[in-house]
A and B are shown apart, each in its own frame.
Chain A
Amino acid sequence: MVTGAWRAFIPLLPGVASAAGAAVYLLLLLKVQSQGGIAALLVAGVVAMLAAARFDVMTRVARRVGEHEKAFNVIVVVAVLALAGLLYDDHFALLLVATVIIYVIAALGLNIQFGYAGMLNFAGAAFFGIGCYTAAVLTKNTPVPHLLVLLAGGVMAAAIGSLLILPVLRTRGHYAAVVTIAFGLLFKIFLEVNDALGGPQGLRVAGMQVLGLEFNNNIEIGEDIELAFYVNYIALGLMLLVLAFIFVKRLERSWIGLNLDAVRLDETAAACFGLNLVRWKITAFITGNFLIGLAGALYATMIGFIAPTNFTFGDSLILVSIVLLGGIGNPWGLVVATAILVIVPEKLQAIQEYRFLLFAAMVVLMLLFRPQGILPRPLRTYFPGSPK
């Protein structure tokens, strides 16, 4: 009997090993305090990644994982929960984990727009900010239940995005990207001069409250264990992330995902086969902005304070870099890239001030030597675990 169970487990091994390895690595990275130790860990991580790429380990693991995708998804969720459990009272480390989770949700939105439909959106931080400010205003002035506030953040970002889509649709390629840059800059200036929204000083945001559970209180278990309150946000964020992930995966594995690819790869050919370019661009833009706004609303309630300086063009660029580094169109790649871009500058203080320089260098190097990203997007299969 036992051997039978083990045999069933063997195909899952590559997935379990990579998830456990990543979790242990993250745990070390988050726990180690000495700058020398962190630098050594990062070097080890880079070397391991290069070696994995050199010996093609990643593609092989990815193929194995693809065959048992559902099991792997569960394994990863368990690994994240285990990580949160092991960090239980470390506020700063848990904040970073929660931030990564929330940024991945936003990056998934950008991935629909840029990775699938090929629409460059350089106003990611603005849509994130719309979600944040929606949450701030609603929690302060209305009794709307907080889970609905999150939804409202997404809806608001999607609604404002559907106005921006009008000029975006009238332009193509780089020009459309410039329109989004202009919008991002306008958004920040609008916040700075708008006193009702706190002006340059920003706004305080109340913490989440769901069914009487105050998210900003630490969780006491028994007498002497107290979980940092960020665990609440990690749990909720993880739930939303799982939903967003399922949404994006199903979108990719449908005729709609195929249409978005067709629009990205060759608009003229797509039009000659009857594809309604406008319809699919709008679909991608709105659903993408919804996810970005949703992430923003959750972020605002967690961080408790928002100001226009959180939503600069630089922050939009970070979101774009995540998609470029992770592997355009591959949701798992976004997870890896977000973890790197969020955690590394916070832990390695020496590079904190130079992080934009570093990110830019990483993007340039990646585009030069591995344009498909850390985890390249695999060929579309319509059903998990099958060759089709």
Chain B
Amino acid sequence: MIRPLLIARDLTKRFGGLVAVDGISFELGRGAVVGLIGPNGSGKTTFFNVVTGIYPIDGGAIEFDGNNIANLSPQAVFRAGIARTFQRSRLSLPLSIFDNIMIGNHMRLNQGLWFNLVQRQRFKQEFEINFERARDLVRVFDAPLADRMFEPVGGFPMIDRRRIEICRALISRPKLLLLDEPSAGMTRDETSKLMNDIFEVKDRFEDLTIIIIEHEMGVIERITDRCVVLNFGRKICEGTYQQVAADKLVQEAYLGIQ
């Protein structure tokens, strides 16, 4: 059997007395699309922040692609092959689409002082190659957007910003993509467009594994193979959408005890 891409064992994160992530264990197979769901404050985003190294962990272990990534810096986690988007879109709004995507492409760009300041001809070559790559990637999502690469991101509507954010995460060809509530702040129409985009991405990057946090259950039902349900920092259920939707504990967590 192929080893799972991500293995979390008894993962724990405390903020003072509050246990935000309380002994979560699960395995993530390669190429899977897994939904991470649960009520507000159940520890979903904290789980992402712990995996990506923003918070150090207080207990347990995380293994990614055969390596221990617990307590690595965000930079090291990114180098290992995990890229993410943020719940409140964290694009750099004054910068252009191209600039934002190049931030995600950082590891492939020559960062030498001499190269950047003096060897401008070579810089131009590297620029053109990466410009083509970024434009091709944006075109997968939205062709008109690809013609506006040098406009500030702040001038685009939410759906385009989400697309740009996903492009910024994908340009580095990560093995695991973490999507933190991509439909937040979007209309129903925009949400369904974005879901089509994510399907498109799955088609193009076949071995890409995705964990998606989402409140729109329609989205979860449509795109995930499996769901993990959190409540008060604990995993209360895991299975296909149909299985978890039928689970009594999950219904209680969402609707309260009847």
A binding-site residues for B, Cβ under 8 Å: 247, 250-251, 254-256, 258-259, 261-262, 265-266, 268-276, 283, 379-383, 387-388
- What are the residues of chain A within 8 A of B117 when measuring CB–CB? 247, 250-251, 254, 256
Q: With an 8 A cutoff between CB atoms, is B110 at the interface?
A: yes
B96 in contact with A255 (CB, 8 Å):
no
Instruction: With A274-B106, A379-B152, A381-B150 as known contacts, state yes or no: A265 contacts B78, CB within 8 Å.
Output: no
A273 in contact with B104 (CB, 8 Å):
yes
CA distance A275 to B151 in the complex (A): 23
CB distance from B111 to the nearest CB of A (A): 6
- What are the residues of chain A within 8 A of B99 when measuring CB–CB? 258, 261, 380
What are 24 A-to-B residue pairs whose CB atoms are below 8 Å? A247-B117, A254-B123, A256-B113, A258-B99, A258-B103, A265-B92, A266-B92, A268-B54, A270-B103, A271-B73, A272-B52, A272-B74, A272-B84, A273-B103, A273-B104, A274-B74, A274-B79, A276-B75, A379-B95, A379-B150, A380-B95, A382-B127, A383-B124, A388-B131
B116 in contact with A254 (CB, 8 Å):
yes
CA distance A269 to B88 in the complex (A): 11
- What are the residues of chain B within 8 A of A379 when measuring CB–CB? 94-96, 150-152
> In this complex, which of B93, B102, B168 has the most chain A Cβ atoms within 10 angstroms of its Cβ?
B102
A275 in contact with B103 (CB, 8 Å):
yes
B102-122 CB mask vs A (1 if < 8 Å, else 0) is 111011011101001100100
B92 in contact with A262 (CB, 8 Å):
yes
B63-102 CB mask vs A (1 if < 8 Å, else 0) is 0000000000111011100011010001111111001001
From residue 139 to 184 of chain B, which have CB atoms closer than 8 A to chain A?
150-152, 168, 172
B90 in contact with A269 (CB, 8 Å):
yes
Name which residue of chain A comes closest to B127, CB basis.
A382
Q: CB < 8 Å: which of A250, A271, A275 contacts B120?
A: A250
CA distance A324 to B86 in the complex (A): 31
A261 in contact with B172 (CB, 8 Å):
no
Name which residue of chain A comes closest to B94, CB basis.
A265
CB distance from A288 to the nearest CB of B (A): 14
- What are the residues of chain A within 8 A of B113 when measuring CB–CB? 256, 283
Besides the known contacts A256-B113, A266-B92, A382-B127, 15 further A-B residue pairs in the complex with CB atoms under 8 A apart? A251-B116, A251-B117, A254-B123, A255-B106, A256-B116, A259-B111, A261-B92, A261-B95, A265-B93, A272-B77, A273-B78, A275-B103, A379-B94, A379-B150, A380-B95
CB distance from B110 to the nearest CB of A (A): 7
- What are the residues of chain A within 8 A of B120 when measuring CB–CB? 250
Name which residue of chain A comes closest to B74, CB basis.
A271
Q: CB < 8 Å: which of A247, A255, A261, A268 contacts B90?
A: A268
Q: CB < 8 Å: which of A250, A266, A269, A383 contacts B116?
A: A250
- What are the residues of chain B within 8 A of A383 when measuring CB–CB? 124, 127
Q: CB < 8 Å: which of A272, A382, A387 contacts B78?
A: A272
B binding-site residues for A, Cβ under 8 Å: 52, 54, 73-75, 77-79, 83-84, 86, 90-96, 99, 102-104, 106-107, 109-111, 113, 116-117, 120, 123-124, 127, 131, 150-152, 168, 172
CB distance from B134 to the nearest CB of A (A): 12
Name which residue of chain B comes closest to A254, CB basis.
B116
Pairs A-B, 4 closest by C-beta atoms: A254-B116, A271-B74, A265-B92, A274-B78
Name which residue of chain A comes closest to B117, CB basis.
A250
Name which residue of chain B comes closest to A276, CB basis.
B75
B75 in contact with A271 (CB, 8 Å):
yes
Instruction: With A254-B123, A255-B111, A381-B150 as known contacts, state yes or no: A275 contacts B54, CB within 8 Å.
Output: no
CA distance A318 to B106 in the complex (A): 35
A255 in contact with B116 (CB, 8 Å):
yes
CA distance A265 to B95 in the complex (A): 9
CB distance from A270 to the nearest CB of B (A): 7
CA distance A379 to B149 in the complex (A): 12
- What are the residues of chain A within 8 A of B93 when measuring CB–CB? 265
- What are the residues of chain A within 8 A of B52 when measuring CB–CB? 272
CB distance from A116 to the nearest CB of B (A): 12
CA distance A262 to B101 in the complex (A): 11
CA distance A271 to B54 in the complex (A): 9
Q: CB < 8 Å: which of B106, B150, B152 contacts A273?
A: B106
Name which residue of chain A comes closest to B120, CB basis.
A250
CA distance A182 to B84 in the complex (A): 39
- What are the residues of chain B within 8 A of A259 when measuring CB–CB? 103, 106, 111
Name which residue of chain B comes closest to A262, CB basis.
B103
B83 in contact with A273 (CB, 8 Å):
yes
CB distance from B115 to the nearest CB of A (A): 8
- What are the residues of chain B within 8 A of A254 when measuring CB–CB? 116-117, 123
Name which residue of chain B comes closest to A257, CB basis.
B116
> In this complex, which of B84, B103, B107 has the most chain A Cβ atoms within 10 angstroms of its Cβ?
B103
CA distance A250 to B92 in the complex (A): 21
CA distance A379 to B155 in the complex (A): 13
CB distance from B229 to the nearest CB of A (A): 25
CB distance from B172 to the nearest CB of A (A): 7
- What are the residues of chain B within 8 A of A387 when measuring CB–CB? 150
- What are the residues of chain B within 8 A of A256 when measuring CB–CB? 111, 113, 116-117
- What are the residues of chain A within 8 A of B106 when measuring CB–CB? 255, 259, 273-275
CB distance from A387 to the nearest CB of B (A): 6
B172 in contact with A273 (CB, 8 Å):
yes
CA distance A274 to B90 in the complex (A): 15
- What are the residues of chain B within 8 A of A270 when measuring CB–CB? 103
B109 in contact with A255 (CB, 8 Å):
yes
CB distance from B158 to the nearest CB of A (A): 17
CA distance A261 to B107 in the complex (A): 16
CA distance A269 to B91 in the complex (A): 8
CA distance A268 to B109 in the complex (A): 20
Q: CB < 8 Å: which of A255, A261, A272, A381 contacts B54?
A: A272
